[in-house]
Structure 1
Amino acid sequence: MKLGFVGTGAITDAVITGFMKSRSDIDSIVVSPRSQDIAARLAEMFPRVRVGSDNQDVVDSADIVFLAVRPQIAEEVVKELKFREHQQVVSFIAAVPIESLTSWIGVPVTITRTIPLPFVAELRGATAIYPPNDQIAALFSSLGASVPAEDLKQYNLFSAASSLMATYFGLLETSARWLEAEGMPYDQASIFLKRLFGGLSHATDASNEQSFEAMASKFSTKGGLNEQVFAEFKENGGTKALTLALESVLKRIEQR
């Protein structure tokens, strides 16, 4: 199997790192020379990775081409490339529909949209895929899990949910700054919160429960402090604000 990556940013870095940890059936990976530092580092770290002379070299050398460029330049980059008929194309490009990519490519290819997250580098990702594609799903399953979307609406919902990462860190930062304001050194607060939330993440992975509400009950004593914080968070508009933000993000995704 020969892979090529047009665009060499943080997600390409994470995906290739994960593939090199998890796959022995990849003969070669060619990356575009853009983002020279990342491309050179990947080629130095992994013997199966080389830096292509340009983006067309990437496409010519690959069975599966991964498009990992910014949406703002996607049309310009893709239209310049010549793809082979029936080549596999995997798009990481946010909010660019398959119809647009098909028009820009101009020859019949198989296009799959995906949402890889940074954790694929540690084989802990959950990558949404649309439309379902067994070969691409198998690739991303080796990076943690692949989650095929049943339709475009579900894929857009996965995309909206993936926007929660900054909010997660914002919750940690707000908590750390509150502890600091109450007299605890920020570094100490940071260590404690990392361990607390890291433990919760592990417990979530290990749980057989499907409902997060059921998981919460296991960590909340009736009338206790955990129950109080969530109740006040909800009463003060926390859950409503989160729901409204997700609805706003979904609307933005669908309008594009």
Structure 2
Amino acid sequence: MLAEVTQVTATNPKIVFIGGAGNMAGAVIGGLLAAGYPADRIVATGRDPLKLEAFAKRHNTVVHSDNIDAIDGADVIVLSVKPQVMRDLCMDLSPHLKGRKPLIITLAAGIPLAAYQRWLGEHLPIVRAMPNTPALVQSGVTGLFADEAVTAEHRAITARIVNAVGISLWVDKEEGIDQVIAVAGSAPAYFFQFMEAMIDASAASGFARADAERLVLQTALGAAKLAMTSDVNVAQLKRNVMSPGGTTERAVQRFEQGGLPQLVADAMRDCAERAAEMARELDQ
């Protein structure tokens, strides 16, 4: 037992990213390297030889086209493939994990821990990680849920990996991942839709579309930065922009009259419910 813990919690454990040449895993690898993680302790796998070669040159990491060879000696295995192929991948890996206890981190959406335990083995420490797309620019949010085999040391290395591209939050119950999806995983699309609506309205009012995009995106960036650095909450920040009887108040009143707060709540509930449905569908 001590040998297993020492191996997994080494200063720089060997991390193998299955599907590592893809966008999300590639972003995490890039974040780790930028944070000083040694490139020779990271392995990435993929199917396309040309992409693997380009990935190796860009990141100076080890690459493999064979997943089984790649996991040899791995302390941490990060699964970053599409949910539809995850079962087959896990079934392929499972015989080669007998007698070993590497930490398994999955970046795939929707698949519950019970499915991984069936496919890989109940003895393994497994973490479900739900990142969002801003991780591609090191500004992501990742929800995390662990099975009972995951130790404090496993949690520490998991946080080190995912926090290389943003921030993370551990949830106590697996259902919490569905809520993370609703509030963070899917949420970039909510903001993109709001920005799109603002850009469309601005263009319709006579702005050149390129100018409208520039103004809206910079304002969104500035508002987020202001909210993150302010010592007051977003409700107060909203009030700070509003003057009684002024332009902002008129716009905010229109949002409220149109039911925006309830619409957002309903949409987030629908998102979480769909996440739970997908988990049941993929738990086969």
1:106-125 pair list within 5 angstroms: 106=121, 108-125=123-140
- 2:90 is the counterpart of 1:78: yes
Cα separation, 2, equivalents of 1:253 and 1:111: 19
Distance of aligned partners of 1:35 and 1:10 in 2 relative to their CA distance in 1, 3 Å threshold: farther
Q: Does the Cα contact within 8 Å between 2:139 and 2:165 map onto a contact in 1?
A: yes
Aligned to 1:32: 45
**1:166 shift after superposition:** 1.4
Aligned to 2:70: 58
Aligned to 1:148: 170
**1:107 shift after superposition:** 5.7
Task: Give the counterpart letter for 2:26 in structure 1.
Answer: D
- TM-score, scaled relative to structure 2: 0.82
Cα separation, 2, equivalents of 1:38 and 1:215: 45
Cα separation, 2, equivalents of 1:179 and 1:37: 43
Aligned to 1:88: 103
* RMSD after superposition: 2.0
Task: Give the counterpart letter for 1:248 in structure 2.
Answer: D
**1:139 shift after superposition:** 2.8
Cα separation, 2, equivalents of 1:171 and 1:37: 38
2:235 to 210, 213, 218: 213
Q: Does the Cα contact within 8 Å between 2:15 and 2:74 map onto a contact in 1?
A: yes
Aligned to 2:203: 180
**1:121 shift after superposition:** 4.5
Cα separation, 2, equivalents of 1:252 and 1:152: 15
Q: Which blocks of at least 5 consecutive residues in structure 2 are unaligned?
A: 1-12, 147-151, 280-284
- 2:193 is the counterpart of 1:170: yes
- TM-score, scaled relative to structure 1: 0.90
What are the Cα deviations for residues 78-105 of structure 1, in whole angstroms up to 9, with x where unaligned? 1111225211000111110111001101
Q: Which blocks of at least 5 consecutive residues in structure 1 are unaligned?
A: none
Cα separation, 2, equivalents of 1:34 and 1:239: 45
**1:17 shift after superposition:** 1.0
Aligned to 2:270: 248
2:32 to 19, 25, 48: 19
SS state at 1:127 partner: strand
Aligned to 2:8: none
Cα separation, 2, equivalents of 1:13 and 1:141: 14
